[in-house]
Amino acid sequence: MHNSQYPRVMTVAALLVALAAAVYLFQHLYVPIIAPVLEVVPPFAIALVFALLLDPIVDWLGQRHVSRGLGVAMVGLGFAIVFVLVGLLLVPRLAEQAGQLAENLPNYIKRATEAINIILASHKLLLERLHLPTTASEMASHFSTQIERAATNSLAFVASALSTVVSKLLWIIIIPLATLWLLKDLDYIKAKVVHLTPEKYKDRLMRTSAAVGGVFARYVRGMVAVAVVYSVFASIWLSTAGLDYALIIGGFSGLLYLVPYIGALTTILAAGTAALATGHSLGYTAGVTVGLAVQNFLLFDLVVAPKIVGGNVGVHPVLMLFSLALGARLFGVVGMIVAVPFAASLQVALAQYFPRILDDLRKNPPNRSK
């Protein structure tokens, strides 16, 4: 018994030593080497994702005797034309609504102050007993320190966000160019990776990469299509309902839909706030928000998204929430958008080595996650 356990102890000890060495090297190499690489990698990683998503279109053109180079050029030109047309059609209207929002903002603040005063006045006796402010001006004076701190933090956040956007302007050039070059040579790159892999691992690498790439690409392509349709539906519904700034809210609703749960609630809250701020009744506000809720949780979650994306991606709700939190912590909104497909891809990759992961999911499938 002692002899059979000895190799296991040595194996565990060797793994611990290797882990300690890896941590030591990571700590000493992070600042001079790893950190600069991590700062440079994101735009190229985004370009690789775009290339993988567009590769099926180029392959489809290749099946119709279009050369790879010409197919890449056609895809790039097609997307450029679409973005230009969308920009010409929507940007002026969005700019107009943004201007109206800036112009009317003081009135909205005045209305909000009046509404707060009415609410406080209706609870004046209770507030006096609790020694709390009974008007909006008293509240602003009483909580001036907290308001000032919140405003300072908000301005700092906006300044930091603007600084980050400006610093990433080079990405606008890098991402399209890198996408086109990667798309052109994608088959060549895949062949090189397989060629450099030891012979005994080639089959498993090809199976794993095909499974992971298939799940990730199908999910992202499907969700992008769903997001576009969702944005169109939301814009039409809000415009038909006569809500001010319908295009602004509807335009961003598609992007927000890519973030499970949180995005939909943000859109509904934004629409409700806009309705109240522009002087609509509570009944109108309830109708607008209920309409968006029906569109999201019934029409899209149960019908449209499963049809386009392909149903359940097999990510447990708890794992999905953990992925969202981790993605937000590491990469912000972009991290939240890609968190679920990355979690699904990782799960598929692990299933190549531990097949019972997917077997158990098929027997006891979790609730659908977007």
Residue 268 has pLDDT above 70, yes or no: yes
SS3 of 299, please? helix
Helix axes 35-62, 186-196, angle to 10 degrees: 120
* Band (369; pLDDT cuts 50, 70, 90): very low
Instruction: State how far Cα 182 lies from the chain centre.
Output: 23
pLDDT of residue 150: 64
- Secondary structure of residue 312 in the 3-state scheme: coil
Quote the DSSP letter at residue 294: I
Contact 53, 225 (CB under 8 A): no
The pLDDT tens digits for 65-74 are: 888 888 888 9
- Choose between 51 and 89: higher pLDDT: 51
Please give the Cα distance from 318 to 332 (Å, whole number). 19
Q: How far apart are CA 75 and CA 341, in angstroms?
A: 24
Residue 262 has pLDDT above 70, yes or no: yes
Q: What is the mean pLDDT of residues 14-39?
A: 74
| Nearest one of 342, 341, 42, 49 to 183, comparing CA atoms | 49
Average pLDDT taken over every residue of the chain: 76
Q: Taking CA 278 as the corner, what is the angle to CA 277 and CA 284, rounded to the nearest 5 degrees?
A: 95
- Token code pair at residue 272: 């409700």
pLDDT at res. 366? 47
Q: What's the pTM value of the predicted model, to 2 decimals?
A: 0.60
Give per-residue pLDDT as tens, 286-329. 899 999 999 888 888 888 877 776 554 566 677 777 877 787 77
Core vs surface per residue 133-155: b (16+ CB within 10 A) or e = ebebeebeeeeeeeeeeeeeeee
Determine contact, residues 313/305, Cβ cutoff 8 Å. no
> Residue 111 pLDDT more than 60?
yes
Whole-Å CA distances, 76 to 58, 63, 172, 222, 278: 10, 18, 14, 20, 42
Q: Which residue has the tokens 């600042």?
A: 31
Lowest mean pLDDT among 50-64, 78-92, 223-237, 309-323: 309-323
Whether residue 348 contacts residue 219, with contact meaning beta carbons closer than 8 Å, is answered with no
Among 138-147, 153-162, 328-337, 359-368, where is mean pLDDT lowest?
Answer: 359-368
Q: Binning pLDDT at 50, 70 and 90, where does residue 39 land?
A: confident
Q: What is the pLDDT of residue 290?
A: 92
CA 235 to CA 201: how far, in whole Å? Answer: 50
Q: What pLDDT score was predicted for residue 244?
A: 82
Domain segments of the chain as ranges = 200-370
Percent of the chain at pLDDT exceeding 90: 3
Positive or negative torsion for Cα 193, 199, 203, 208: negative
For 149-164, what is each residue's pLDDT tens digit? Answer: 665 665 565 556 555 6
Q: What is the mean pLDDT of residues 188-208?
A: 77
Residue 32 has which token pair?
């001079």
Does residue 165 register a pLDDT over 60?
A: no
Which helix H or strand E contains 46, and what residues bound it?
helix 35-62
Q: In the predicted model, is pLDDT for residue 142 greater than 80?
A: no
- Rounded average pLDDT over 254-276: 84
Give the rounded distance of the alpha carbon of 282 from its chain centre.
31
Task: Please count the residues of the chain.
Answer: 370
